[in-house]
A and B are shown apart, each in its own frame.
Chain A
Amino acid sequence: MAIECLVLGAGQEVGKSCVVVTINGKRIMFDCGMHMGYDDHRRYPDFSLISKSRDFDHSLDCVIITHFHLDHVGALPYFTEVCGYNGPIYMTYPTKALAPLMLEDFRKVLVDRRGEEEQFTSLHISQCMQKVIAIDLKQTLQVDDDLQIRAYYAGHVLGAAMFYAKVGESAMVYTGDYNMTPDRHLGAAQIDRLELDLLITESTYATTIRDSKYAREREFLKAVHECVAGGGKVLIPTFALGRAQELCILLDDYWERMNLKVPIYFSAGLTIQANMYYKILISWTSQKIKETYATRNAFDFKHVHNFDRSLINAPGPCVLFATPGMISGGFSLEVFKQWAPCEMNLITLPGYCVAGTVGHKLMSGKPTKIVLDKDTQIDVRCQIHQLSFSPHTDSKGIMDLARFLSPKNVILVHGEKPKMVSLKERIQSELRIPCYLPANCDTVHIPSTTYVKAHASNAFIRSCLNPNFRFLKRSKEENSDQVLRNTNSTALLQVNDERVAEGILIMEKGKKARVVHQDDLLLMLRQKKHDIQFGYCCAAQLDNLEETGNRDGALSHSDKCSCLQLLFKELSNYFSGVNIQDLGEHLQVESFQVSVCLKDNCPYRIIDSPRKEAPTIFFCCSWSAADEKLAREIISAIERFNLSDNLPCKNSK
C-alpha cells in the first residue's frame, strides 16, 4: 500500500492547481484550476494523465475544491461538462456559492471582451455546480466505505479550506491556499493535530517572512484619505470577491471613524450581489466580524453606493471599486482611461498582476504612457499605490504548520522553484521530514503505514494495561553531581511505568487473526503450563563468619537477613540502573530470585568442591529463560563478592 501523488498543475509554479492523489487505491483530485497566464492548451491541467481512455468517472473517486479562486476552480466546468466527469465534487458552502460568480465573471471577460472562443458556457457552469456537494467545516464525510474527507478552516478567502483525506490507515492533508495570521475579515487557518503520511502545502511565500499587516493597511488608508481630501478620485480595480469585501470593510470602518462623507462606489451589480453572499456566510469570517450579525451585519456597508456610468466625470472626490482587477479590460479599464491623466487621482493595484495586463505594466517601473493598441495610448499622471497584503501564509507559517502536523512526508506545490528549494532544505534539515518538489506531470511515491488487523482478547488488553513499575535509583555520585548543579535535590528514586504489551498472535485457517494472553492460549489448547526454570546455587566468600554467628552453618534468621541485605547492597552498587527488589526472604530482579541457601546438600550446588579455605555462604538462585543473560551476570558477580568486607561487627556479645 502506498500513496501516489501526481501533480497536474501548480508544480513548481503558481497557477492551475491540480493534484491527483491515490491513497490505498482511492483516487482524489484536489483542485481543478486554470492558468491565467496562458491562452493555449497549457491553460488547463493535462487530464489525459489521469486516464488515457478519458474514463474519469472510474479513475477518480472524487474531486475536492479548496476555494473559489480561478487557479483552483477555473477548469472545473471544463472537466465536468467537456471532459465528462460525473463523479462527486466537494466544496465548502461558501465555495459552492461563490465559485459560479467567479467562473461567470471570467467567462464574460473571455468571451465578451477578449472575443475569444468560449471554453465553457453559462449553462456548463450551472450544470457543473449542480454536481457539487457542499460541506461544512469539520464535517466528517464518508465518500464511500473507505474514503473519509474533512475540511478545515484555511483563512485565505471566504470558505477556503484545507482538506484531510483518509483511506484505511493512510491519511493526508492538502492545504490549498491558506493564511496562518488572521486578517481584516477572515480568521487564521485552524487544523487538528492529525497523524499524517503526507502533507501537500502551498508555498507561495516560501522564503518571505512578513511583518504585521496593520502598518500596510494604515499606509493604504492614508493614501486613499490624502487623495480624497485633495479632491481626487480613487480607483480600486478588484475582482468581485474577496479583496473587494476586505478593503470595503476597511474603508467603511475608516469612513465611520473619520466621519468622511466622500462616496464609495461599487461599479457592477455583481459586487453588490456578492455582498449578499458575504452577509449570509458571515459565520465563515473572523470572530470579530461574525459577532456583528445580530446588530448590524458587517457586510451591510453604510457608505457604499452603486456606481452609475454618468458619475465617471462628475466633479468631486470619490472612491470606486471596479472589476476586473489587474485592469485587463472592461469597466476598470474604461475608468482608468478617464482618470489616469489627472495627477490628483489615485489608482491602487493588487499585489499580483498577470503579465500583459495594464496592471502589470503599471507595476513594472513608473510608466508615463500606456500603449493600449496602435490607436490608443493613455498618459499616466495619477499616483499609483500598490497593495501589498496577500492572504497567503509566509514561510514561518508553512514551517509552523509542518511542525505542528509532523507528517511523514511533505510535498510543496504552488510556488516558485528557487524559493521552494530553499524551503525544502529547511523542512528536511530542521524538521527532518522528507520533502518533495514535483514539477507538473511528475509523480511522487510515498509508502503509507499499514496495520495488520486482529481481534484481541480481554485478558490480553488487561495485561497490557497492568502497570509495570520500574524503580530507577540514582547512584550516590550521580546524585551529588545533581545537587551541585541543581540546588533542589532531585528524588533518589524514579518511578517508571513502561507498560509492555506481550501476547500471542494466533492465525487459524478460515478465522480472523487473534491476539490472546498466554493463559488464554493454554485454556484454548486445554493444556497445562509446564514451567522450565533455571536454578543454581552459588557461593560467596564470607571471611569472618565465625565471629558473627554460630559455626554450624545454620545461620539465624537475623543473620540470613543481614547476609541478604549485604548482597542487596553489593548488587545495587554493582548493577546500578537495574531494579533490584528486597522482598525480605529473597531478592528479585525481573524473574531472577536469590535467597540464602541453608541446605547442606542443595541439588543445585553443582560445583563439587566449594573452596574450603574460606568460609562461604550459599545463595540459591532461580530464573526463567527470558532472563538468562542477566542471571548469569548476577551469578558471576555474586561469586566474586566478598561480603565480609562490609559485614558489620555486630552480635559480639
Chain B
Amino acid sequence: MKVTCLSKGSGFHFPPCHILDVSGFRILLDCPLDLSALTIFSPVSPSPKMEEEEQTYDFAVNNCLDMRKRQKILKSLICAQPWYKTPNNLHLWDPSSIDLVLISSTMGMLALPFLTQTKGFSAKIYATEATTRLGQLMMEDLVLMHNEFQHFYGSDSGSPQWMSWEELELLSPALRQVALGKDGTELGGWMPLYRSTDVEDCVKKVQTLKYAEEAWYNGTLLIKAFSSGLEIGSCNWTINSPKRNVAYISGSKFHPVHAMEFDYHALRGNDLILYSDFSSEGVLTNDEHYNNFPASTTYNSSTPRDCSTDNDDRILKECLLRNDESLEEREKVAFICSCAVDSVKAGGSVIIPLNQLGIVLQLLEQIPVYLESSAMKVPIYVISSVAAELLAFTNIIPEWLCKERQEKLFSGEPLFSHPELMKGEKLYVFPDVNSPELFWQEPCIIFSPHWSLRLGPVVHLLRRWRGDENSLLVLEDGLDTDMALLPFKPLAMKVLQCSFLSGIRLQKTQPLLEILRPKVVLFPEDLREQINISSSHSFPVLYYAENETLDVPKSRGNVDLEIASNLATQLSWRKLDHDDDMDIARLGGQLFIDGGKHQVLSGNKVSDKPLLHWGFPDVEKLLAALSKMGVKGSVEECMSDDAESGSDGIVHIHEPSKALIEVRATRTVISARDERLASLIFEAIGTLTDGI
C-alpha cells in the first residue's frame, strides 16, 4: 500500500488531498480548491446600480489623492479574470489512472469538475448525499459569481497575460508567493473556472451514499462513509480491502452544533489509520490567544494501566467527549452576535461573508434572539443565488443532523427556525443585490458570499459600507486580511476576525487513536513537533509529508478463505507420517471472489489418489511391498550412463504380467500394460513415500 499526500491544504475551506494505492486500486481522497488564492485578483467594479449608490454614499474623504492611491493599490492586485488554484501535485497524476475518488466534504468537491471533464477520467466517485447536494450548490454559486467577471472582462480564452513570467515578476512578493507557491512551482495548478454544464455533468457522475451505506468497488473494496461532524454531510471513510482495512480521518468534530456527531466508534478495529486532520497545525500559539477559558485537563497518558480495558476506554471516551470545545465555539458565536447587535444599535450594518454552513446556521438562529432581547428590529438579509434552496434543503435532512436537531423532527418542529423567521418577516432571502424585489432597509445584517471578498454580493456591500465606522465586517481567520481588504481601503468599518474549530483538538488526538486501536497510524510530519504520539503506544506511527510517497509495509500475509461446509465435510484427511499434529487434505473447488470475500465452493472433483509425492521409495522395500500384494519382480541395478544418482533402480515385474518400474531420485515411472497392475504398483509406491 502506498500513500501520497498531494496537499495538506489549509483550514476549513481547503481540506487535504491524498492519493492512496491499495490492493491495486488508486484512490483519490478529496479534490479541493484553494479559494484563498483568489485574493490576488482585484474584484470587479460595482454594477451600475450599486455604483450610483456608492457615489452618493461614498465617504466624504473622497478626494483626488485618495482616489489615485486607491487605484495604485488596485493595480498591485491582478486585474484579470481570476483563475482558480487546484492542488498543484494533482496534475502530476494521470487522471485515467485513478479508479476511485472519495469526497469527504463539500469543500473537498470544488475541484471535482476539473477532473471529471478530463478525457480518460473514468473513476467511480463516492460522496454522501448531503455533501453532493451542498457541493453542487456551492459550485453553482461559484460559477454564477464568477460570471460577473466574465461580463466585465469578456470571455477570453488561452493563457492569461498575468501568467506570463514578465507579469509575474512585477507582482509584489506576497502575491507572487500565492501565485507560484513557496517554492515557485505551483503555477501549473491554476485553472480557468468550469462552466455550469461541467458542474451538472460532474454531479451526475457522483455516486451518492448514506452514512454507513456499504459500497462495493469491483467486488473487492468495501467503502463506507461515517459522519465526521465537520459539516452537514461531511464524512470519514473506511476502505476494506482483502488485505487491509484502512480508515481515513479528515477534519472531524466531536461536538458539532448541527451536523451529525463524529462517529469514531465505527472507525475502530481498522488496520491502518490515515490521520489527515491538519486543523491543529500551528494552533498551539493560537490556542493561548483564545484560552480565556479554564484550561482543560489534558489526557494524561501516564495514567496507571492496571485498570481493565473497559475502564480504560471509559476514561478515554470521557476525555474525547469533554465538551469544552463546543462551549468555546458557542461563545465565539455569542460574541459575534453581540458585536453585531452593538453595530446595528449604533446605526451601522453588519456584513457576514461566511461560507461555513454550520456557522451561518448558528448565527441565523442566534442573531434574531439577540436582537429580540435588546428590542432591536433590524432586517436580516441572506443574499446568494443559492440561499433559498440551501435553507430549504437544511430543513429536510434530519438524517444528517446531530441528535439534538433530530429531536426536533420527532417532536414535529421544523429542524431550523429560518422558515419561521422568513414568515415573520425578520429574515429575507434574495438571489443577488440587483434583485428587483430587494427592499433595502438600513441598518441591517447581511449574510452573503464569498469569504474571499473577491466574488459575490459582498464586494458591492463592502464598497457601500466601508466608510461607515459603525458598520461591521465579520471575517474568517485563515485569510490574509491585509491582502483581502486591500481593494477596500481606506476602511473605516470595524473588522471582526474569528477562527472556528475545524477539526480535532490536538490533546484529543492521542486518546482517539488509543480508542481506535489501529495496527499502524500514518501521521502528518508537520504535526510531529506538536504532539508526541510515538512513545508509550502499541501501534507504530509512520510520518508522511506533502508530495512524498510513503510505502506502507504489508501487514497481513494471508487472505481469509471461506470453504463451503458441504465441501469441507467431504475432504479426505491424511496424517503426515512424521508429524502427528498435522492433518492435511486435498481441497478442490471453485474460488469465488465477491464482496471482498474469497469463497471456495464445490466444483471440480478432487482425485482420490494422491497427486503429490515426496520422499523416496527404496527399491528393496518396494519389492517387498509388491510381493505382499502378489506382485513379483526383480531388481536390475542400472549402470546408468547419466550421472543422475547412484540410487537409480529398475524393477522388472514378471507376475501377474510384465511391467517395469523405473525409480530415480526425483521421479518414478510405472510402465505396465495392465491398468490394474499399474495402480497396484502406484499404491505400493504410495506406502513408501508421503503424498497428498
Contacts and interface: CB of A to CB of B under 8 A. Distances in A.
A455 interface: yes
B587 A502 contact: yes
B670 A137 contact: no
Contacts of B604: 500, 502
B590 A499 contact: yes
Contacts of A454: 560-563
B581 A530 contact: no
Question: In which size bucket is the chain B interface?
Answer: 35 or more
Contacts of B606: 502
Interface stretch (B276-284, B295-303, B519-527, B612-620): B612-620
Given A140-B213, A293-B396, A507-B583, A461 B559 contact: yes
Interface residues of A, number: 79
Nearest to A1: B565
6 contacts: A138-B209, A454-B560, A530-B689, A606-B659, A622-B669, A632-B675
Contacts of B413: 276
B585 interface: yes
Contacts of A458: 557-559
B673 interface: yes
B692 interface: yes
Contacts of A608: 658
A578 interface: no
A610 to B, nearest CB: 12
Interface string A113-137: 0000000000000000100001011
Chain A interface mostly: mixed
Contacts of B662: 535, 603
A55 to B, nearest CB: 24
A530 B571 contact: no
Given A451-B562, A500-B590, A530-B614, 17 more contacts: A93-B409, A137-B210, A139-B212, A139-B213, A279-B396, A452-B562, A455-B560, A458-B557, A501-B587, A502-B588, A504-B585, A505-B571, A528-B614, A529-B613, A531-B666, A533-B667, A624-B611
Interface in B403-453: 406, 409-410, 412-415
Interface stretch (A11-19, A34-42, A414-422, A518-526): A518-526
A454 B568 CA distance: 11
Chain B interface mostly: mixed
Interface in B523-560: 557-560
Contacts of A457: 558
Interface in B627-678: 650, 658-660, 662, 666-673, 675, 678
Nearest to A502: B588
A626 B615 CA distance: 19
Given A453-B562, A506-B583, A527 B214 contact: no
Interface string A442-459: 000000011111111110
Interface of B: 209-214, 224, 266, 388-389, 392-393, 395-399, 406, 409-410, 412-415, 557-565, 568, 571, 573, 576, 581-591, 598-600, 603-604, 606-607, 609-617, 650, 658-660, 662, 666-673, 675, 678-679, 682, 685-686, 689-690, 692
Nearest to B657: A606
A102 B607 CA distance: 65
B210 A453 contact: no
Contacts of A536: 671-673
Contacts of B692: 504, 518, 521
A277 B560 contact: no
B129 to A, nearest CB: 8
Most buried by B among A137, A449, A501: A501
Contact of A502 (B392, B398, B586): B586
Contacts of A515: 561, 563, 587, 600
A139 to B, nearest CB: 4
A580 to B, nearest CB: 20
A528 B615 CA distance: 7
Contacts, number: 244
A530 B666 contact: yes
B616 A625 contact: no
A65 interface: no
Interface stretch (A280-288, A364-372, A549-557): A280-288
Contact of A456 (B388, B559, B668): B559
Contacts of A604: 660, 669, 671
A394 to B, nearest CB: 29
Nearest to A96: B410
Contacts of B392: 293-294, 297
A139 B210 contact: yes
4 tightest Cβ-Cβ pairs between the two chains A and B: A451-B562, A455-B558, A527-B614, A456-B561
A142 B612 CA distance: 45
A650 interface: no
A112 interface: no
A465 B565 CA distance: 22
A506 B584 contact: yes
A503 interface: yes
Contacts of A510: 581
Contact of B565 (A277, A451, A537): A451
A451 B685 contact: no
A456 B560 contact: yes
Contacts of B607: 625-626
Interface string A599-634: 000011011100000000000001011101000100
Nearest to B595: A195
Contact of B609 (A293, A607, A626): A626
Contacts of B397: 283
A427 to B, nearest CB: 24
B412 A277 contact: yes
Given A461-B559, A508-B581, A603 B650 contact: yes
A534 interface: yes
Contacts of A534: 669-672, 678, 682
A464 interface: yes
Contacts of A606: 658-660, 671-673
